[in-house]
A = this chain, B = another copy of it.
């Protein structure tokens, strides 16, 4: 009888832990972070908002944390991974589009001439996205993304793109959730490009992914309802668009925001301007050896104004080289 009681109790305690009622702030859930100012700032903030009765306590429902994706949760060099997807899609779709052999930016893509593609600027990129991201149903597109991730490999590491997520940030996501936070992605990347794998890789379910989108249209195909993806921009979730996307999807102001570039500046401003304890963090790419080193002059993930504002406002700036014991989990294999 007593034995059974103890067994039931053990289960209860597991549940207590799972339900986040026991604060997970003391256990070291951030093993890939070196002890230092960044890690201390994170744990201090979490302890402050998650301690019942403390002066900085925040109700779990209000513990919203938003994360940029490219350059914050996974790498973004030598090009945004979604652009690599779009280029691969052009090649896959080329047989159905003989005209692409003569039309830019498709011609350059098919010839592997990335320089010319990028020289086309935003207009060329929008054309590529529309040609490769529209025209399917939402379910077909999710399947295409998953199939691509299964086979595509990163040019430098030769690994699946989903291996190139930052181990310390995975730990941070889990640590925040263990302390009652709801974690969201708020990315300039495509919402439908991220959703098919965000739950598996980051533990972030589709309804907690905010991103850029194209319009969709509901229609009946042989009396089967489908949502068709249209070649028309719906929303750009970048820069000043990020607080707009947050408000549209979440309807509450986050208390913590994590980014790595000027595209995240407004999200960090919006988050930190609320009342009570607030936290803002930038990942600074300083590690040319294990990852990449770039900031103020990079065309991808430029970090310039946001870095100045982070210093002025004492936001946490992660020095990737110094603060992270490992960048990718496969380093430890």
Q: Which residues of A contact B (CB under 8 A)?
A: 2, 5-6, 8-9, 11-13, 15-16, 18-19, 21, 61, 138, 182, 191-192, 195, 205-207, 209, 213, 216-220, 224-225, 227, 234, 240-241, 243-244, 247-252, 266, 269-270, 273
Contact = CB atoms under 8 A, between A and B. Distances in A.
Given A195-B251, A218-B270, A227-B247, 9 more contacts: A12-B12, A15-B19, A205-B251, A217-B240, A218-B244, A225-B243, A225-B273, A227-B270, A249-B249
A9 B15 contact: no
Contacts of A2: 2
Nearest to A242: B218
Given A243-B227, A247-B138, A206 B252 contact: yes
A227 B207 contact: no
Contacts of A247: 138, 216, 227
A269 to B, nearest CB: 5
Contacts of A19: 15, 18-19
17 contacts: A12-B12, A12-B13, A15-B19, A206-B250, A206-B252, A207-B249, A207-B250, A216-B244, A217-B240, A217-B244, A218-B241, A218-B270, A219-B240, A220-B269, A225-B270, A225-B273, A227-B270
B12 A218 contact: no
A248 to B, nearest CB: 7
A45 to B, nearest CB: 20
Contact of A248 (B9, B213, B219): B213
Copies of this chain, whole number: 2
Contact of A227 (B138, B217, B218, B244): B244
Contact of A12 (B15, B61, B234, B243): B15
Given A5-B6, A19-B15, A205-B61, A240 B252 contact: no
Nearest to A198: B251
Contacts of A273: 224-225
A244 B215 CA distance: 9
Query: What 6 pairs between A and B have smallest CB-CB spacing?
Result: A12-B12, A206-B251, A218-B240, A218-B243, A207-B250, A225-B273
A7 to B, nearest CB: 10
B225 A269 contact: yes
Contacts of A252: 205-207
Nearest to A182: B207
B12 A8 contact: yes
Contacts of A206: 250-252
> Which among A2, A192, A234, A251 has the greatest number of chain B C-beta atoms within 10 A?
A251
Nearest to A195: B251
A206 B2 CA distance: 45
A66 B48 CA distance: 36
A156 to B, nearest CB: 31
A274 to B, nearest CB: 9
